[in-house]
Every structure is written in C-alpha cells, then in structure tokens.
Chains A and B, each alone.
Chain A
Amino acid sequence: MKAIWRIAKATFHEAWRRRFLNGILVFAILIIGSSWTFTYLQPGAELKMLIDTGLGAIRFFGMLIAIFLGVRLIPDELERQTIHTLLAKPVTRVQFMLGKFFGGLATVFTNVALMGITFFIVYAIKAPQFQNAAAEEGPTYSMQFMSANIAKAIGLCFFELAVLLSIAVLASILFSWILASIFSFFIYFVGQMADFLRELASPEHGADPISSIVFNVLYRILPHFEIFDIREKILLDDFVPWGLLRNVTAQAIIYVVVVLMLAYLFFNEREV
C-alpha cells in the first residue's frame, strides 16, 4: 500500500506541473466563473441556464483533463525511462499502475473540486438574484435543496471521470498516446449515447442480425456515461434520490475495477 501511496503522491505532484492541464483548468474556471453572463440567452430561466452551463462546463473540461492526463500517466514514465528505477525497487507492476491511476484520480478530483467551488461561488452570488425574479412567476425551491442537487451532480461527474480516466489508462497501455486519446474520446461520446445503441440493435429499427449483435455487444460493454448526467433532473427541480447516487457510483466503481484489471493484464506482459 505504501508503494501505491508514494507513487500516487509523486504522480499528483507531477500532474500539477503539466502546463497544458493547468491551462485547461484555468480556462474552465474562467468559463464557469463567467457562466452567469450566458443567462441572458434564456430570459426567465436564468437560474436553470446558470446551472446547465456551469455543470456542463465542469463535465466538459473534466473530460478533457481526465483524457489528456490519463493517456500520459504511464507512457511518460516509459518514454523518460523513470519506470526502470521504480520497478527495480520492491514495487510490483500492479502497485505502479495503481499508484499512477490513483495519483491521476486525485488530480481529477482536485480539478473537479476547484471547478465545483468556482461554480458554487457564482451560484451563491447569482442564484438569489435569479430566484427572486423567478419567484414572481411561481413557487421556487430553496437554495439548500438546489445546492444539494448540484453537489450530487458534481459528485457523479467525478465518478464519471474516474471511469473515463481508467479507460484512458487502459488505452495508453494498448496504443500510442495519440491513438489512446482518440479512442478515449470515442468511447466517451459513444458512451453518452448508450441507449441509442440499444435502439440500433433492435430489429424493429431494421437492424440485420449481425449489426444487432454488434450493437448489443457495444451496448453491454461500453460504459453508459449518460447515467452520470443528472442535469435534466436538477433543471426540472426533481429531488435526486440517494439511491440513484449509490447505484451509479457502484456501477462506476465496478467498471473502474474491471478496466484496471484489464489494463494490468496488458501492462504485466509489456516490456518496459
């Protein structure tokens, strides 16, 4: 455990030295910080617009950070040969890989937390103003109720990014980092449309047997990223039940474990 912790810590420190990732974070914070300016696009629904833009930005920039970080975690160690001195110590490959992953995960967590805090600050300043305007047209929910829902959405976003990070790490072991980035983006976008894959697999939609099998397999093995997106519920002022959070989180953890096991199988065979 100590080896995993040490490597994770080193990975975390190193990740904050990547200017490209820092640039994404700064840009994300700027966008989230100024998200209230987009609210004029939907007069009368400013609060919903604010939440939609803010949470959307956290998901989008979080996705960029998770992919670009994940695909470089292990290849950088291989290219710079820093892995040689590490694996020559009493560090197993699984410890090394987990250390890299958890270091990356901690980085993603911190990035999401910083973006989330920025959004909450904007929300705390602007929401009462928008809420007062909305109150004139009908009943509104309390800030506390909305804040809890937003926190849940940000929490789910983190678990979504954990899944994406594990996929990026697996891809980086199998392919070059450029190909791994493309692969990760592809999985992310297809994973957003998992339900659409099921529809495509349906014979009612004219799928031939082979296409049906292919779409079915894809539906079963690809992560269903849309389950992490609860913005719609929040915008409809629905309460986000804790049970949903538990289920989605459990699915994410299982998916991460399976992907990391696969990554380990390939990494263990790889020459370094």
Chain B
Amino acid sequence: MAKGQIFGLVGPNGSGKTTTLKLLLGLVFPTSGTGEVFGYPLGSPIYKERIGFVPEGPYFYDYLNAVELLRFYGSLFGLGGARLQERIESLLKLVGMWDRRDRKVVNYSRGMLQRIGLAQALINEPDLVFMDEPTAGLDPIGAIQIREVIRRLRDDGKTVFLCSHLLKEMEPLCDSVAILNRGVVCRTGTMTELLTGEDSHYVATFRGLAEASLQQLQSLAMSVEQNEEEYTASFRDQSSAVTAAETLAGSGVELVALQPYRLSLEEVFIDAVGGMPQ
C-alpha cells in the first residue's frame, strides 16, 4: 500500500476480507506466513499507536456517552487533559455528533454508531485507518458525509484501508484496489490500471449521423455501436478519434463525448473472480 492513498480491498462474501483485516489488526494470527505493518510484525502494539480501526457495525460500552467513549479510547493512547478534550470536540464535529454528544451509546441508531466508530478510530490522529464497511447502515446523506471524511483523511496525508463489497462506492473513492477471492489476491493495481487494463483505446460518441456519415465512421473506427440516436465508436488512440471527429464535422455530425475506454470496477471484479456464479 502506498502512503497517502485510499486502498480498497474488495471481494465476494467469504473471500477473506474481514479475516485479512483481523490479521492486520492482530485479532487473529496467521497459520502460515508473516506480515508487517509499518515494519512491525502483525499484532505488535507498537504500530497500533499509529493506526485506527472502524469496525463493521461498531459495538461500544453502551452506558457511555459520545464524549466519555472518546475519552476512554483516547486514554488508551495515553492522551488526556485539554489536548484530548479539543480532539474530542473536533472529531465529534467532524462526524456530525457534537450536538448529540451527551446521548448514551445505548440510544444510538446504526448510523450514529457508525459515526462514533469513525470518531474513535481517529482519536490518536492515526497515519493509517482501517475501515470495514464504513458506510454500512448509513442513510445516503450519512454515507456521503463519511466518504467526504475519508477523502479529507487522504488529503491530510493519511492512508486509508477500506474493506467493502460496495463496488459502486469504492470505484470513485479508491486510488488503488486489491480484489480478493477465496483468500487469494487475484488482481491488484491503481484504479486507472485496473479499469483501463491493457486495452487503452478511446471511445467517442456522435450524434446526427446520416447513412453516408455512418459509413464513413465505420471505415475510420475499430467498431461502432448504435445507442438510440447516438453512435459510440472505438478508436485505436486519441488522435484517430479526433481525426474522425474533424472529418465528420463537415457532414454536420456532432461529437458528444470523447474519453479513454474504461471498464467499471464491477466488470473488472466479475472478470477477476471468474464470472457470475452459476
């Protein structure tokens, strides 16, 4: 994992995402092999000073309120006094819980638990934050807010390790991804590498094609597909797409879009795990 990026670990149910996360946190031990976090062996309390963890469906001591809970977790890092108090206030504001700081955890909704789960993970200003399905159970606005916090963490130079099976959410959020299937990483790379793949051609969308200009387009492009009134054509590279657009412009054809060919993470994922289950 590169520093300062959002790394996503995706995989089907039972692929080993949570087990991987537990290994990295020292909650379970490897039956074989070794691993390191910040150069320290798995489970070492030394690197835990520098990490945060947002569990899926967080559970906390429910007799505490938000401030008491964060004070408890902060104290485990040796934090205290005015510094901890300031940190608690800023975190509760960050996750939108400041107005509800006096409410006991037992009265929290799933979304509130998720928010306080994020706040406790950031109490020590970690360099690396592990998150297991951080937006699970949140309403759309809550999910957007959490994604914003995740992006802000990256912008602040933190590294985020996201574990999720919500591919549509991961695609715009992650800088790089590993696809896990049956305990094995079957594909990994930056999002651009994965989604463009080896096929680096360009796709142009045209509108207003007559019979003659369509024939002209078919001769210039690798392939052409009709989608209602629009035609999508594939080109070997950007320059041949631009040339075609310029040629067709004289016939009144309008270029709607031109972009590099890009798969969706969902397509990459299905391909990586060997297709849809029968």
| Docked CA distance A87–B75 (Å) | 14
State whether A10 and B72 are in contact (beta carbons under 8 Å apart), knowing that A2-B78, A84-B27, A272-B28 are contacts in the complex: yes
Does B120 interact with chain A (Cβ within 8 Å)?
yes
| Contact A6:B76 (CB < 8 A) given known A13-B63, A92-B45 | yes
Smallest CB separation, B200 vs chain A (Å): 41
Distance in angstroms between the alpha carbons of A136 and B57 in the assembled complex? 71
Q: Kindly state whether residue A129 has any CB partner on chain B within 8 Å.
A: no
Please provide the chain B residues from 102 to 122 with a CB less than 8 Å away from any CB of chain A in the complex: 117, 120
A3 contacts which chain B residues (CB < 8 A)? 76
Q: Tell yes or no: B51 within 8 A of A by CB.
A: yes
Chain B proximity of A91: nearest CB distance (Å): 6
Q: In B75-125, which residues have CB < 8 Å from any A CB?
A: 75-78, 117, 120, 124
Q: Whole-angstrom distance from the CB of A177 to the nearest CB of chain B?
A: 18
Q: Does A82 contact B (CB under 8 A)?
A: yes
Q: Does B59 reach chain A (CB closer than 8 Å)? A: yes
Residues in B with CB closer than 8 Å to A237 are none
Q: What A residues does B52 contact at CB under 8 A?
A: 88
| Residue A85 CB within 8 A of the other chain | yes
Q: Do residues A90 and B76 form an inter-chain contact, with CB atoms below 8 A?
A: yes
Q: A85-B59, A88-B51, A89-B77 are in contact. List 19 more A-B contacts (CB 8 A).
A: A10-B61, A13-B63, A14-B63, A81-B59, A82-B59, A84-B55, A85-B53, A85-B73, A87-B26, A87-B27, A88-B52, A88-B55, A88-B130, A89-B48, A89-B73, A89-B124, A91-B48, A91-B76, A271-B28
Q: How far is the CB of A90 from chain B (nearest CB, A)?
A: 4
A85 touches B58 (CB 8 A): yes
**Are B75 and A81 neighbours in the complex by a CB distance under 8 Å?**
no
Q: How many residues of B contact A (CB 8 A)?
A: 30
User: In the complex the two chains form, is B75's CB within 8 Å of A84's CB?
Assistant: no
Chain A hits for B58, CB < 8 A: 85
User: B27 touching A88 by the CB < 8 A rule?
Assistant: yes
Q: Shortest CB–CB separation between residue A94 and chain B, in angstroms? A: 10
Shortest CB distance A19–B (Å):
13
Tell which of B25, B61, B77 touches A87, judged by Cβ atoms closer than 8 Å: B25
Interface presence of B38 (CB below 8 A): no
Q: How far is the CA of A2 from the CA of B72 in the complex (A)?
A: 11
Does A205 sit at the interface, judged by CB under 8 A? no
Q: Which of B48, B57, B75 contacts A6 (CB 8 A)?
A: B75
**Chain B min CB distance to A101 (Å):** 17
**B residues near A92, Cβ cutoff 8 Å:** 45
Q: How many angstroms between the C-alpha atoms of A87 and B53 in the bound complex?
A: 10
Pairwise interchain contact B45-A17, C-beta atoms closer than 8 A: no
Q: With CB as the reference atom, state the residue of chain A lying closest to B51.
A: A88
Which residues of chain A come closer than 8 Å to B63, judged between CB atoms?
13-14, 17
Q: Is B266 an interface residue (CB 8 A)?
A: no
Contacting B at CB under 8 A, from A56-104, are: 80-92
User: 28 A-B Cβ contacts within 8 A?
Assistant: A2-B76, A2-B78, A3-B76, A6-B72, A10-B61, A13-B63, A81-B57, A81-B59, A82-B60, A84-B25, A84-B53, A85-B53, A85-B58, A85-B60, A85-B73, A85-B120, A87-B27, A88-B26, A88-B51, A88-B53, A89-B48, A90-B76, A91-B45, A91-B48, A92-B45, A269-B29, A271-B28, A272-B27
